[in-house]
């Protein structure tokens, strides 16, 4: 597989819609087949929620992107200071280290603020990925509003 270089940086306001579209498109391929209609609707409502966008604009929801030639190839969000949210990588860019780089970037930023633990609610598709990079389960899989996830944490 050809390796491409990418740049991890904060997502800008004018890139928000593209980032959420990447999340939606990727969700439909890898997550939606495992979710109920309720779960699909819950996810769609979350990424389209104007409150989430307002939190992003106000700096309360932090989002980073991995960019290849100025095109967004992956995203990660941090909410509630240390909770990973919306980690998605464009289908054609999987297995190139982008998700790992996004998580590592966020972890390094959190360390700067003396954060000791990072949490995530992993989708079924991503459980193995999170285990490989050091996260441990804090509970068995949960279903809430149709969203399936395994709560996890990483001590940093």
Give, as one character, the DSSP assignment of residue 11: P
Check residue 1 and give its pLDDT: 38
- Residue 62, pLDDT > 70, answer yes
For helices 37-48 and 50-57, what crossing angle results, to 10°? 40
Residue position matching structure tokens 């603020």: 113
Q: Read off the pLDDT of each residue in 47-62 and give the average, rounded to a whole number.
A: 96
What is the Cα–Cα distance from 107 to 92, expressed in whole angstroms? 25
Give the tens place of pLDDT for each residue, 89-103. 999 999 999 999 999
What is the Cα–Cα distance from 79 to 55, expressed in whole angstroms? 9
CATH T-level topology, domain 7-155: Aminopeptidase (3.40.630)
Residue 2's pLDDT band (boundaries 50, 70, 90)? very low
Residue 4's pLDDT band (boundaries 50, 70, 90)? low
Name which of 102, 106, 146 is nearest 124 in CA terms. Answer: 146
């Amino acid at each position: 597989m050809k390796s491409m270089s990418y740049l991890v940086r904060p997502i800008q306001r004018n890139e928000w819609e593209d980032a959420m579209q990447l999340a939606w498109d990727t969700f439909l391929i890898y997550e939606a087949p495992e979710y109920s209609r309720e779960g699909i609707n819950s996810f769609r409502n979350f990424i389209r929620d104007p409150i989430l966008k307002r939190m992003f604009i106000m700096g309360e929801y932090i989002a980073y992107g991995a960019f290849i030639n100025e095109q967004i190839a992956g995203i990660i969000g941090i909410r509630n200071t240390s909770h990973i949210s919306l980690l998605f990588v464009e289908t054609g860019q999987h297995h190139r280290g982008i998700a790992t780089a996004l998580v590592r970037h966020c972890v390094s930023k959190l360390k700067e603020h003396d954060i000791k633990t990072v949490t995530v609610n992993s989708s079924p598709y991503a459980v193995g990925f999170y285990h490989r990079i050091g996260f441990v389960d804090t509970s068995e899989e949960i279903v809430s509003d149709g969203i399936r996830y395994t709560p996890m944490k990483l001590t940093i």
